[in-house]
Structure 1
């Protein structure tokens, strides 16, 4: 009887050790990525967009396990603030006070949770918004909650 208890305890401890190791191996620890340097990605750093027109946001998003959603945030940069993800300098207009700035915040769920997704979203720029410097922020989140951001400086022209 003591031998059976002994082997039962050893078997349970062994099973728990193997199960814990397997769970640790399956934990997602990688952030998703945003490709804005591909040929058909848009906008790119320093892109210009005419107000009163539409354009298509395009980027390749990827993750090692599964993507969940992405979001777009467009806001003015009339005060010359910066985001740590921006790359390179663009033409900067003088600091000005916003009257009717363009603001867009949009979240899109990615269907079927793929590892790679070609995001495309048509964006209409109203004709009556303030032209000038803007930030185009992209955030992608995977199914486990990891997220990455990219900030792009753009200009909206008259």
Structure 2
């Protein structure tokens, strides 16, 4: 009878010590959108011509793994704000849109990447309303953390 508590103690100790301690770290850091490079475009207060194609360029970074990004261009004729930048741009008078540009597109980033040079060709139709627009960049990492960069641009 004295062996039963001893055997239970040995069994419990063996069971506890055989369990692995998962110390997998949880990603709690937001990804980074970097538009500070000389070739980055657009940046705050950039101008883009109607009827032209321009190349979006930015660098994305994450501590673990990047996921995807999306780009959104929409009018700012009513002077609403999404800007994440300190610098403000000169704006035109408030106006009603007639044929505003609306561009929303999602892009994939290759698996396993922590740093990515993003580029995308975007066509500005010749017949869209000129004026103030927002250029939104949304970057999501594999864990689901999202960073937003809101730029004010002008379409001429």
Question: Same-fold call, TM > 0.5?
Answer: yes
- Length-normalised TM-score, structure 1: 0.91
Task: Identify unmatched segments of 5+ residues in structure 2.
Answer: none
- Could you say which structure has the larger radius of gyration? 2
> Is residue 61 from structure 1 mapped to residue 95 from structure 2 by the alignment?
no
Q: Is the 8 A contact 1:58 1:121 kept in 2?
A: yes
Report how many aligned residue pairs link the two structures. Answer: 153
> Is residue 81 from structure 1 mapped to residue 80 from structure 2 by the alignment?
yes
- Length-normalised TM-score, structure 2: 0.92
Task: Identify unmatched segments of 5+ residues in structure 1.
Answer: none
Q: Deviations over 1:87-135 (max 9, x none)?
A: 3111100000000000000000101230000000000000000000000
Q: Is the 8 A contact 2:31 2:61 kept in 1?
A: yes
Q: Which residue of 2 aligns with 1:107?
A: 106
> Is residue 13 from structure 1 mapped to residue 16 from structure 2 by the alignment?
yes
Q: Which residue of 2 aligns with 1:131?
A: 130
Q: Is the 8 A contact 2:50 2:126 kept in 1?
A: yes
The 3-state SS of whatever aligns with 1:18 is: coil
For the aligned residues, what is the CA RMSD?
1.5
